[in-house]
Amino acid sequence: MSKKIAKKIVVGNWKMNPLSLKEAEKLFINIAKSVSNFKKTGIIVCLPFLYLEKLKSTSQRTKKISLGAQDVFWEDAGAYTGEISGDMLYDIGAKYVIVGHSERREMGESNNDVNKKVKAAIRAGLVPVLCVGESMRDKNHEYLNFIKTQVIECLNGVSKNFISKVIIAYEPIWAIGKGAYPATPEEFREMNIFIRKILSDKFGVKIVEDIKIIYGGSVDEKNTEGFIKAGYADGFLVGRASLNPKKFSEIIKICEASDK
Ligand code: 13P
């Protein structure tokens, strides 16, 4: 597992929440307050595009939280109505961007599209948080082939120089959202080892030691420790719990305690 860089990463994905800029500011400030004593964990909040500009100055003031977006277009500029480029995101204060989230893949995004987005993010100086995850598990372990294809196709053409900048989020679709159950730490551990092996075959063992592989899907303050201790998670991609400053900061507190 990734021993070289102990520091954990916690990425909050606000999805399409909250519904007004005022509420977004309030939520962000409350999160910033509740994480103000933490020193070691990388804290990132991925906001709806519209809130990035306003919250840039708040995040600079508080210093603890980096901003991210939830998607990016693969072209750098031009006639692409409704799209937002990596350079635009970087300019407005984003440092990270989620790519290939299952909720976007469900709307038709292919591995090829995600691959172009990963490369566009890297070109713009953003850190891509690449999401992979199967919709169901089968007895023949076909889901492993599915994940392998996702990892290989989404990282196609990414050079060795940049691969350690990519964060991989294993987020099984069956574990996401209200009413779903998280994966077990053991299920995550299996996938963590498997993804790391795919990456080392492609990019070499040395580089891959630095890559963060994080878990997402019904993460909360109660299951965080298990994923770190038994799953060797390098961090988390958090949905619902990232909208609750208390729960989100508890998750980070547990990460801090594990990075001795
Ligand atoms: P939940 O944590 O709400 O299950 O969402 C997970 C997710 O999709 C984060 O990207």
- Asked about 171 being catalytic, the answer comes back as yes
- Residue 173 Cα to ligand 1 midpoint, Å, equals 9
Q: What is the pLDDT of residues 140-153, one digit of tens each?
A: 999 999 999 999 99
Whether the CA torsion 229, 231, 12, 260 is positive or negative: it is positive
pLDDT above 90 covers a percentage of the chain that reads 92
Predicted pLDDT at 259: 78
Predicted pLDDT at 260: 63
How many Cβ atoms sit within 10 Å of the Cβ of residue 74? Answer: 20
Residue 67's DSSP bridge partners are 45, 94
Contact between residue 123 and residue 81 where contact means Cβ atoms under 8 Å apart: no
Q: Is the CB of 191 under 6 A from ligand 1?
A: no
Whether the CA torsion 243, 244, 247, 250 is positive or negative: it is positive
Minimal-distance CA residue to ligand 1 atom 9: 239
Predicted pLDDT at 2: 44
Predicted pLDDT at 6: 57
Positions in the chain whose pLDDT score sits under 70: 1-6, 260
What is d(CA 115, CA 123) in angstroms, rounded to the nearest whole number?
12
What is d(CA 134, CA 239) in angstroms, rounded to the nearest whole number?
17
Q: DSSP 3-state assignment of 97?
A: strand
Residue 102 assigned to a binding site: no
Longest dimension (CA), the chain: 51
Predicted pLDDT at 1: 47
- Residue 101 Cα to ligand 1 midpoint, Å, equals 10
- Residue 218 Cα to ligand 1 midpoint, Å, equals 6
What fold characterizes domain 8-258? TIM Barrel (3.20.20)
What is d(CA 241, CA 64) in angstroms, rounded to the nearest whole number?
18
Q: Is the CB of 214 under 6 A from ligand 1?
A: no
Predicted pLDDT at 9: 97
- Per-domain residue ranges of the chain: 8-258
Predicted pLDDT at 4: 47
> pTM for the full model?
0.96
Exposed/middle/buried for residue 4 (C-beta within 10 Å: 0-12, 13-18, 19+): exposed
Phi-psi region of 204 (alpha: psi -120 to 50; beta: other; left: phi over 0): left
